Amino acid sequence: MKLTNFFTNMKKAASDHAMKKGVPAKDVNAYLAAVSQEARVVLEKLRKTIKAAAPKAEEIISYQVPVYKYHGPLVSFAAFKNHCSLYVISKSVMQTFSSELRSYDTSGITVHFTAEKPLPAALVKKIVKARIAENELRVEQKRKGRRELL
């Protein structure tokens, strides 16, 4: 998925969310309060899993949906009328876990799931840890590049 498609999807999620409450969420608690009860239960578990896997990550609202950042964006999630999405933000991580994601609808860097068939916590933890490793590697490579320039 191209980054422009990612942002288009994020804007759609933000629009869906804002229409439901009338105003954009200012934090993740407000975001979750605005989604359906069944989506809220699933997304609260997803949130807890992400925070456990990435305790140093900052939890923010960006494009009016929850985003977790640690040396850049890690993952994000959103609720839609008929499904929820986990934005993995990395094609290589999606490929790494493609066999474990086989039973879910995926598109580019996005995994779609429902309240009836949520993502397993163990898989979410592995995805988040892989994203942390990618971001840390990118930061280290930038540092090395800067040192070589000096």
The string of pLDDT tens digits covering residues 74-108 is: 999 999 999 999 999 999 999 999 999 999 999 99
- Dump pLDDT digits (tens) for 6-21: 555 555 555 454 445 5
Distance CA 127, CA 54 (A): 11
Hey, which residues does 76 pair with through a beta bridge?
A: 67, 87
Whole-number mean pLDDT of the chain?
A: 88
Q: How far apart are CA 29 and CA 22, in angstroms?
A: 16
The H or E element that residue 60 is part of is strand 58-62
Domain 3-149: state its class: alpha beta
**69 vs 143, which has greater pLDDT?**
69
Residue 45 has pLDDT above 90, yes or no: yes
d(CA 6, CA 78): 12
